[in-house]
Amino acid sequence: MSESNENKFSPELLSFINEWKDKPGNLIMVLHKVQEEQDYISREAADQVAALLDVPLATIWGVVSFYHFFKLTKPGKHNIQICMGTACYLKGAQPLIDELAKQLAIEVNEVTDDGLFSLEAVRCVGCCGLAPVLTVGGEVFGKVTKDQIAGIIAKYK
């Protein structure tokens, strides 16, 4: 079976890893960089980091599962993040999640069958004045109402 290009580290990532190879705390830095490049930590990526840094695979999985930040499954092409911070929660974030889940036919932390969307509940994204807030691939939508959800999804199809 040929190796998929998808999980190949770029030359920049490899040189970053090389640079950090012998520095303390390098594992987290490297994993951050891997996720930045590949959107999640795949099994292949974890294997490769283990080999390059010469650390046991179990140590990598320990770090990845301890920190919420790391994702173990590939997100959709458009990752929808719903803020569940206090302000957004109080202004109705949960009904927005319910509506998104219904329209996309997935639950939080799942990906649609076509790989287009994933749904994620996150902590305060720092624009509470716009609550309730959701972001799609970094684009921020504020004061979102349930009836805007279909339009937001359609924008990314």
The contact set with ligand FES (CB under 6 A) reads 83, 85-88, 124-128, 131, 133
Q: Whole-number minimum distance, CB 65 to ligand FES, in Å?
A: 26
Tokens 């890893």 belong to residue = 17
Residue 14 or 90 having the CB closest to ligand FES? 90
Q: Whole-number minimum distance, CB 52 to ligand FES, in Å?
A: 37
The radius of gyration of the chain from alpha carbons, rounded to an integer in Å, stands at 18
* Chain residue at closest Cβ approach to ligand FES: 85
Q: Whole-number minimum distance, CB 110 to ligand FES, in Å?
A: 22
Residue 45 or 144 having the CB closest to ligand FES? 144
Q: Whole-number minimum distance, CB 95 to ligand FES, in Å?
A: 15
Please state whether beta strands 117-122 and 134-136 pair in parallel, antiparallel, or not at all (unpaired): unpaired
**Rounded CA gap, 52 and 72, in Å?**
19
Residue 41 or 125 having the CB closest to ligand FES? 125
> H-type helices in the chain, by residue range?
11-20, 26-38, 43-53, 57-66, 86-90, 93-104, 149-155
Residue 8 or 91 having the CB closest to ligand FES? 91
Which residue in 87, 86, 85, 70 sits closest to 131, CA to CA?
A: 87
